[in-house]
């Protein structure tokens, strides 16, 4: 009898042990799966490009570091020890300001990058040709200017990019340089991976101001207050070609930056030095 009781107790103990062992392994597996899901969620999370400014004349911090961006062939700023400015313009549509902007750039022998959307290419092909002929780069700002961070499949992402590149080639007879700027600065890690996979260099910015609202343009003084006090070595400057203020101040702005000891360089030099 005692022998049978001992046998039953042993079997019961073994069963309890195996139950908790299985429960523990299952719980651990669930925790690991949860961590994996959380990691993927963080990696794919949509974000808006943002900056934090410090002392005057110093580079701002981005919400992603320059070193992290370089993993995806992406930049927001150049060398902090070189007083170089990289001029970029986002072109959503043409409203009469782009040619005076080109005139000012030509006067200062400054080469810029113009990030264009499909509508700009369709409505202003002669201006696009002038950009190319005068040595500026014409980059890809997508065809429809959507929130690209909401696009998770490569085919849809590529179509937004390829449609712009194809239209540019039909206008100029040349292949479009593989520079990409996310519309509105909205992006995800997956977007950066896809852009890199397609051979593109992605460019954010380290200096911009609220110049895009054509119905509420900043004054000259307001523009200079932002653009002169926040300029810094290695700045990638974002301006909008639709801004009447930018068209009116650009010549003087470039002069003031030159007087501060800055020179202008194309994004190709930034890539070559990285």
Q: Which residues are catalytic?
A: 90, 240
Q: What is the spatial distance between Cα 206 and Cα 185, in angstroms, rounded to a whole number?
A: 12
| Residue position matching structure tokens 């397609």 | 198
The DSSP call for residue 177 is P
CB of 125 closer than 8 Å to CB of 171 = yes
Q: Nearest-CA neighbor of 86 among 237, 229, 246?
A: 237
What are 98's two structure tokens?
């782009």
Contacts of 186 (CB under 8 A, 6+ apart): 46, 47, 48, 49, 147, 148, 149
Residue 139 CA to residue 142 CA, distance in Å, equals 9
Q: Is 199 left (phi over 0), alpha (psi -120 to 50) or beta?
A: left
């Amino acid at each position: 009898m005692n022998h049978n009781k001992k046998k039953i107790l042993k079997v019961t103990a073994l069963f309890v042990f195996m139950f908790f062992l299985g429960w523990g392994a299952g719980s651990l597996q669930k925790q690991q799966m949860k961590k994996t899901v959380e990691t993927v969620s963080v990696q794919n999370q949509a974000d808006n490009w943002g900056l934090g400014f410090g002392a005057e004349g110093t580079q701002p911090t981005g919400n992603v570091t320059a070193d992290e961006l370089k993993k995806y062939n992406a930049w927001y700023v150049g060398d902090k020890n070189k007083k170089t400015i990289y001029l970029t313009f986002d072109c959503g549509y043409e409203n009469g300001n782009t040619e005076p902007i080109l005139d000012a750039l030509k006067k200062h022998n400054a080469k810029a990058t113009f990030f264009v959307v499909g509508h700009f290419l369709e409505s202003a092909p002669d201006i696009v040709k002038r950009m190319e002929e005068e040595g500026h780069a014409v980059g890809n700002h997508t065809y429809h200017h959507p929130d690209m961070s909401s696009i998770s499949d490569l085919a849809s992402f590529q179509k937004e990019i390829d449609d712009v590149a194809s239209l540019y080639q039909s206008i100029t007879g040349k292949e479009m340089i593989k520079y990409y700027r996310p519309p509105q600065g909205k992006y995800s890690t997956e977007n950066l991976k896809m852009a890199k996979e397609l051979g593109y260099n992605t460019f954010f910015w380290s200096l911009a101001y609220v110049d895009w609202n054509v119905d509420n343009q900043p004054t000259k003084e307001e523009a200079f207050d932002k653009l002169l006090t926040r300029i810094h070595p290695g700045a990638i400057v974002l301006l909008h070609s639709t801004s009447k203020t930018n068209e009116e101040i650009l010549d003087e702005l470039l002069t003031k930056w030159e007087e501060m000891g800055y020179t202008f360089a194309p994004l190709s030099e930034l890539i070559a030095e990285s």
